[in-house]
Amino acid sequence: MFLVAVIGGLTIAGCASTPPNSLATHDASKWSNDIAAFAASDATNPPPRGGIVFTGSSYIRKWTTLATDFPGMQTVNRGFGGCELADVYAYADRIIVPYAPREVVMYAGGNDISAGLAPELVFGDFVALMKHLRAALPHTKLVFISCPPSPKRWAQTERIKRANALIADYCRHHEITFVNTFPLMLGADGLPRGDIYVADQLHMNAKGYAIWREAVAPVLLP
């Protein structure tokens, strides 16, 4: 059956064509040193093929407990700085595809919103990235973690929710697993839980990563 979804005026009908995105104007060169460091590490200590690649922005980069959070699984952390979805797209052929992963777990998008990118363009960058990965890794399971709330960026919440809604709808129709951590990070008052963030009120502490671990673990391939 041909599925069509209309969200806030943006029609998603299998997204046969890639929606508008920022790829043509985005400059990913500022991350070249980070990517070169990954390449140097790979040259001396290549990650195992067929593992689980975690990639995206600082929420992933700072997830330093992947090995203990997911015991018995071969995890590779390829998160870098404050990257955006367009940056992950730019470097996917260097930090994801060569490892032939059985699964890719991603989070990015919050920095895009913070930089002023419209949710619709964030969505377009997401779709472009997913299409690229699906073409390069047709048998790899793709998992995307929702854009989280945070006290520091609470003023951006409606735009974050909009981006999450667009991405979640696309995932439902394209066999991509969407892990919605947003509500799990809120307290009874509907605001971000104060006990799960470090002093900058943006990044998570161990309690925050425990929430992500519990949300992601059930969707990983055994």
What's the start-to-end Cα distance of the chain, in Å? 31
Alpha helices by DSSP H, the chain: 32-44, 58-61, 66-69, 85-95, 110-114, 119-136, 157-173, 206-216
Whole-Å CA distances, 216 to 14, 16, 98, 110, 155: 25, 29, 23, 18, 27
CA distance 214 to 169: 22
Number of domains in the chain: 1
Question: One digit per residue, pLDDT tens: the chain, 222 residues?
Answer: 223 333 333 444 444 577 999 999 999 999 999 999 999 999 999 999 999 999 999 999 999 999 999 999 999 999 998 999 999 999 999 999 999 999 999 999 999 999 999 999 999 999 999 999 999 999 999 999 999 999 999 999 999 999 999 999 999 999 999 999 999 999 999 999 999 999 999 999 999 999 999 999 999 998
Q: CATH number of the domain that 180 lies in? A: 3.40.50.1110
CA distance 57 to 80: 5
Could you identify the residue written with the tokens 């960058």? 125
Q: Is 190 left (phi over 0), alpha (psi -120 to 50) or beta?
A: left
Domain range for 54: 5-219
Residue 34 corresponds to which tokens in the numbers above? 């980070």
